[in-house]
């Protein structure tokens, strides 16, 4: 077996880029810097501008304003076939009349690579995606997952410094998707190529990426590692889009460096305040909240809100609860294995420390955009 060839990944630098279709702005002034060899995922709801960004990088569409550099060079006006980029789409674009081997050899033939060298590279690419035994099959003799592995081999066979993928696993079932995510991650680690990956699936983004750019309405809301986006979202939209959460709204007052929010009849204290005069909301992560019997096991300084268990789901690794609070908000709580059990209808307190809540400026559009 041939060792995979490590390539130097290309950096991408997008500055103040916009894309307009007539009066409609699909991308609005985005800045995106992707490091050489990085796995960057473009994440966001449908229509948020992810594919438009990928198409700009690929050269399938022109930028309306702003600049785009790949590997330190401006690519404005450079046609896509001269950008030396590998591309994989959701729908397998394999040539139906060619065998797997011929499909993978195609980009090499285009580049004038012949004979032994071509054979070796095809073999290496098929080994990488564990499809070497299928070289003589035709695409219609392969499953969807196998076709996508061949598409990946074909996109990487000419050692491009950059690979673009647009929802490549979108048409596959969950188990296969999860397995291929790990395969893609392994291949990225082995190659050193820069990967740019489009998905609307936040779990997939968390599994794969070095960093994630979260798109909303043609803008990038935040760029960061999965941990940064989950623990310290910059906006309510990002906080709600990544992972599960509960949003608490109430009347807020700032006192010194604290924010005190009154929710129904109860008060919640956050040990910080927002800059500016935006209306604050509280975001809670389900595993940062404990369920307790009303008034029991008090920890000094913790916040407590009383509610009723509306749903209790046993998950094996623990339990998930939905708790209807007095003001009607439904809070999501995940309890670890061994924590006290509660049943539907039980009155409980949700308890969390001021340091375990996330305080963000309210943004009503975060609710609308997610539905
Ligand atoms: N050729 C076009 N003409 C007009 N509008 C377009 C064109 N291509 C895309 N758009 C619009 O630009 C916006 C962004 O589209 P884009 O395909 O980038 O979204 P996306 O985030 O990739 O969504 P999805 O996950 O549904 O593919 C959408 O509102 C879309 O309708």
pLDDT tens digit string along 224-266?
999 999 999 999 999 999 999 999 999 999 988 899 999 988 9
CATH class held by domain 244-370: mainly beta
Rounded (5°) CA angle 221-47-195: 65
Residue whose Cα lies nearest atom 16 of ligand 1: it is: 49
12-240 and 244-370 share one CATH topology?
Answer: no
* Crossing angle of the two packed helices 115-128 and 144-156, in degrees rounded to 10: 130
Tell me the C-alpha distance between 115 and 105, whole Å: 11
Tell whether ligand 1 has an atom less than 6 A from the beta carbon of residue 55: no
Supply 369's token pair. 């955009």
Tell me the C-alpha distance between 234 and 217, whole Å: 16
Nearest atom within ligand 1 for CA of residue 48: 21
Q: What is the pLDDT of residue 1?
A: 42
Q: How many A from CA of 47 to the centre of ligand 1?
A: 5
Tell whether ligand 1 has an atom less than 6 A from the beta carbon of residue 181: no
Annotated domain spans of the chain: 12-240, 244-370
Nearest atom within ligand 1 for CA of residue 19: 12
Asked if CATH classification 3.40.50.300 holds for the domain at 12-240, the reply, yes or no, is: yes
- The 3-state secondary structure of the chain, one letter per residue: CCCCCCCCCCCEEEEEEEEEECCEEEEEEEEEEECCCCEEEEECCCCCCHHHHHHHHHCCCCCCEEEEEECCEECCCCCHHHCCEEEECCCCCCCCCCCHHHHHHHHHHHCCCCHHHHHHHHHHHHHHCCCHHHCCCCHHHCCHHHHHHHHHHHHHCCCCCEEEEECCCCCCCHHHHHHHHHHHHHHHHHHCCEEEEEECCHHHHHHHCCEEEEEECCEEEEEECHHHHHHCCCCHHHHHHCCCCEEECCEEEEECCEEEEEECCEEEEECCCCCCCCCEEEEECHHHCEEECCCCCCCCCCEEEEEEEEEEEECCCEEEEEEEECCCCEEEEEEECCCCCCCCCCEEEEEECHHHCEEEECCHHHHHHHC
Hey, how many other C-beta atoms are within 10 angstroms of the C-beta on 366?
Answer: 20
Q: How many A from CA of 56 to the centre of ligand 1?
A: 12
Q: How many A from CA of 13 to the centre of ligand 1?
A: 21
pLDDT (tens place) for every residue of the chain, 371 residues total: 444 556 689 999 999 999 999 999 999 999 999 999 999 999 999 999 999 999 999 999 999 999 999 999 999 889 988 899 999 988 768 999 999 999 999 999 999 999 999 999 999 999 988 999 999 999 999 988 899 999 999 999 999 999 999 999 988 888 888 989 999 999 999 999 999 999 999 999 999 999 999 999 999 999 999 999 999 999 999 999 999 999 999 999 998 889 999 998 899 999 999 988 889 999 999 999 999 999 899 999 999 999 999 999 999 889 999 999 999 999 999 998 877 789 999 999 999 999 999 999 998 777 766 65
Residue whose Cα lies nearest atom 5 of ligand 1: it is: 21
Tell me the C-alpha distance between 343 and 203, whole Å: 29
Q: How many A from CA of 82 to the centre of ligand 1?
A: 24
pTM of the model: 0.91
Q: What is the pLDDT of residue 173?
A: 85
Contacts 24+ apart (CB under 8 A), 293-298: 293/340, 293/348, 293/349, 294/347, 294/348, 294/349, 295/349, 296/349, 297/351
By C-alpha distance, which of 113, 93, 98, 95 is closest to 157? 113
Tell whether ligand 1 has an atom less than 6 A from the beta carbon of residue 139: no
Any residues with CB less than 8 A from the CB of 261 and at least 6 apart, and which?
248, 250, 251, 252, 253, 267, 268, 269, 270, 280, 282
Tell me the C-alpha distance between 155 and 163, whole Å: 7
Q: What are residue 308's DSSP bridge partners? A: 324, 347
Tell whether ligand 1 has an atom less than 6 A from the beta carbon of residue 46: yes
Q: What are residue 211's DSSP bridge partners? A: 40
Q: What are residue 246's DSSP bridge partners? A: 284
Residue whose Cα lies nearest atom 11 of ligand 1: it is: 26
Residue to mutate (ligand 1; options 18, 30, 50; most atoms within 8 A of CB): 50
């Amino acid at each position: 077996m041939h060792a995979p060839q490590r390539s130097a990944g290309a950096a991408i630098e997008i500055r103040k880029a916009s894309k307009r279709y007539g009066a409609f702005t699909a991308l609005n002034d985005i800045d995106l810097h992707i490091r050489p060899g990085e796995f960057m995922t473009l994440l966001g709801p449908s229509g948020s501008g992810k594919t438009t960004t990928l198409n700009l990088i690929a050269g399938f569409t022109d930028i309306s304003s702003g600049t785009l550099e790949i590997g330190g060079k401006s690519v404005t006006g450079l046609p896509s076939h001269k950008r030396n980029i590998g591309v994989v789409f959701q729908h397998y674009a394999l040539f139906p009349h060619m065998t797997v081997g011929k499909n993978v050899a195609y980009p090499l033939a285009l580049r004038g690579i012949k004979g032994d060298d071509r054979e070796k590279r095809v073999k290496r690419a098929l080994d990488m995606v564990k499809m070497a035994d299928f070289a003589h099959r035709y695409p219609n003799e392969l499953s969807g997952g196998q076709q996508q592995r061949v598409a990946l081999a074909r996109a990487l066979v000419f050692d491009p410094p950059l690979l673009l993928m647009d929802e490549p696993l979108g048409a596959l079932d969950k188990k296969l998707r999860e397995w291929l995510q790990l395969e893609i991650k392994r291949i990225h680690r082995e190659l050193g190529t820069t990967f740019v990956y489009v998905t609307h699936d936040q779990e997939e983004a968390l599994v794969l990426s070095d960093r994630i750019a979260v798109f909303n309405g043609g803008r990038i809301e935040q760029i960061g590692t999965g941990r940064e986006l989950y623990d310290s979202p910059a906006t309510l939209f990002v906080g709600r889009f990544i992972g599960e959460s509960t949003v608490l709204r109430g009347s807020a007052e700032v006192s010194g460096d604290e924010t005190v929010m009154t929710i129904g009849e109860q008060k919640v204290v956050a040990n910080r305040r927002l800059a500016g005069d935006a209306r604050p909301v509280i975001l809670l992560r389900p595993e940062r909240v404990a369920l307790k019997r009303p008034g029991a096991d008090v920890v000094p300084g913790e916040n407590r809100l009383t509610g009723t268990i509306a749903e209790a789901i046993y998950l094996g690794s623990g339990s998930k609860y939905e708790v209807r609070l007095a003001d009607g908000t439904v809070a999501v709580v995940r309890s670890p294995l061994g924590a006290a059990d509660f049943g539907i209808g039980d009155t409980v307190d949700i308890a969390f420390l001021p340091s375990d809540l996330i305080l963000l400026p309210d943004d009503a559009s975060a609710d609308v955009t997610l539905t």
